[in-house]
Each structure stands twice: as structure tokens, then as C-alpha cells.
């Protein structure tokens, strides 16, 4: 599946919940959900059809996939790997998504959105243990350090993003050093550490049909 390049606010309206795809804009009155809280399209404001159980599971799956910005093929691959692990499949699945490098860059506050974080990684601006890693799907491990290259540390947009991150609650499995724009993965995330508002059991049921 090709990468979606259309208006992302449309995706939030389709799922009828904030997916926080545009960073700070999602917290302002300009947010599309606050202005037009109904699905996009000419039939959006009209009467909504009753959704089947399959439809509920599908929407939950699409919601999570759009939050992390991964393709259907990648999404299925993560689920297949999670299903082979011991423990709760849904939690293992979310852990794979959280460990993606673009998500970690976003969680550390180097960027306002996951799409902006993905661009930082893809353009070779992120270092893992001092080495350039330009693969957004790279899975971080405990003990690894993620930093921004020196050229971009003085970027005013990035500095403002890091400053905002330094005053808010950081996920317990991450440590941020705002002075040198560097973060450390201290542990693997548990379900309680992931604030994504999603019912992963519905996704497990969707792929287990």
C-alpha cells in the first residue's frame, strides 16, 4: 500500500477521534474534530449506519495504523511477530509499534508529530549510539541512545519542540537530556506506559478471524 499523502485531518474525522497527526494544531480550536465532528464526504453529516462487529474491529485497526503511520503490510508483519511471542499478543504488538525509531524520536520530543519525526530519521538526522540510522522502522533496544546530529541541534523549531518536551511527562521507559538533545531507552515499554487510546484486543480479534 502506498504512503498516504492526503489531508491528515480527514483521517481523524473518519475515525471520529483525535489521532494527533498534526502536532500542536490538534490542541487548538483549529482541530478538525472540534470544528466538524462527523465523517468526511457528502454523506458525513447525515444519518450514520449501524456498524457491525467486523466494522468496529476494522475501525480500531485503521485507527492504530494511522496513529503510527505504518502501511498495512508493516502492520500485519508486526502482528505476526507479536503472535509468535510469549505473553499477551496485543501488548507485544503495541510494544513493537512503540519501539519504532520514528515513534521514539516523537516521544522524546524532537518533533511535534510522528510524520515530522519520520522525516528527521529518513533524512539521516538521527543517531543511534552515535551511528546514523535512516530507517524509521528500526526497533530500538534498552540501553541505546538516540540523538540528533549537531547540525540540527540549533534548529529553532527543534529547540522549541525539545523545550516543550522537557517540561511535560516523559514516558517512564525513556530518558531525555534536553541540553544535548539526546535520549536513552531505559527499558521496554509496558502496556501501562503506552498512552495510545486504543483497544488492542479488537485488533487481535480482527486478525484472528
pLDDT digits (tens, 9 = 90+) for 14-28: 666 666 666 666 556
The pLDDT of residue 158 is: 81
Q: Which residue has the higher pLDDT, 159 or 31?
A: 159
Residue 133 lies in a domain: yes
H-state helical runs in 69-180: 72-83, 89-98, 101-108, 114-122, 156-166
Per-residue pLDDT at 18: 65
Residues 107 and 44 in one domain: no
Q: Which domain holds residue 62?
A: 8-97+196-207
User: How far apart, in whole angstroms, are the C-alpha atoms of residue 28 and residue 8?
Assistant: 16
The pLDDT of residue 76 is: 94
Residue 37 lies in a domain: yes
Residue 116 pLDDT grade (very low, low, confident, very high; cuts 50, 70, 90):
confident
pLDDT tens string 68-85: 989 999 999 999 999 999
- Claim to verify: residue 112 and residue 153 sit in the same structural domain: yes
Condensed to tens digits (0 to 9), the pLDDT of residues 185-203 reads 999 999 988 888 889 999 9
Domain shared by 61 and 90, yes or no:
yes
Q: Give pairs for 119-125: CB < 8 Å, separation 24+.
A: 120/148, 120/152, 124/149, 125/149, 125/151, 125/152
Domain match, 59 and 136 both: no
How do beta strands 182-185 and 126-128 pair?
unpaired
What is the predicted pLDDT for the residue at 1? Answer: 43
Mean pLDDT of 100-115: 91
Amino acid at each position: 500500500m502506498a504512503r498516504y499523502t492526503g489531508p491528515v485531518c480527514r483521517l481523524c474525522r473518519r475515525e471520529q477521534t483525535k489521532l494527533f497527526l498534526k502536532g500542536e494544531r490538534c490542541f487548538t480550536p483549529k482541530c478538525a474534530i472540534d470544528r466538524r465532528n462527523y465523517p468526511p464526504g457528502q454523506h458525513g453529516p447525515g444519518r450514520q449506519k449501524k456498524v457491525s462487529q467486523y466494522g468496529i474491529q476494522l475501525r480500531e485497526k485503521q485507527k492504530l495504523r494511522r496513529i503510527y503511520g505504518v502501511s498495512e503490510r508493516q502492520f500485519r508483519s508486526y502482528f505476526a511477530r507479536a503472535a509468535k511471542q510469549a505473553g499477551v499478543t496485543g501488548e507485544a504488538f503495541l510494544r513493537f509499534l512503540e519501539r519504532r525509531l520514528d515513534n521514539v524520536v516523537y516521544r522524546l520530543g524532537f518533533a511535534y508529530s510522528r510524520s515530522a519525526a519520520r522525516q528527521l530519521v529518513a533524512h539521516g538526522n538521527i543517531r543511534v549510539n552515535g551511528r546514523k540510522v535512516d530507517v524509521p522502522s528500526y526497533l530500538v533496544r534498552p540501553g541505546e541512545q538516540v540523538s540528533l546530529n549537531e547540525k540540527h541541534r540549533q534548529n529553532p523549531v527543534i529547540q522549541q519542540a525539545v523545550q516543550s518536551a522537557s517540561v511535560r511527562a516523559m514516558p517512564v521507559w525513556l530518558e531525555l537530556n534536553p541540553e544535548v538533545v539526546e535520549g536513552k531507552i531505559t527499558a521496554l515499554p509496558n502496556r501501562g506506559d503506552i498512552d495510545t487510546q486504543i483497544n488492542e484486543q479488537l485488533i487481535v480479534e480482527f486478525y484472528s478471524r
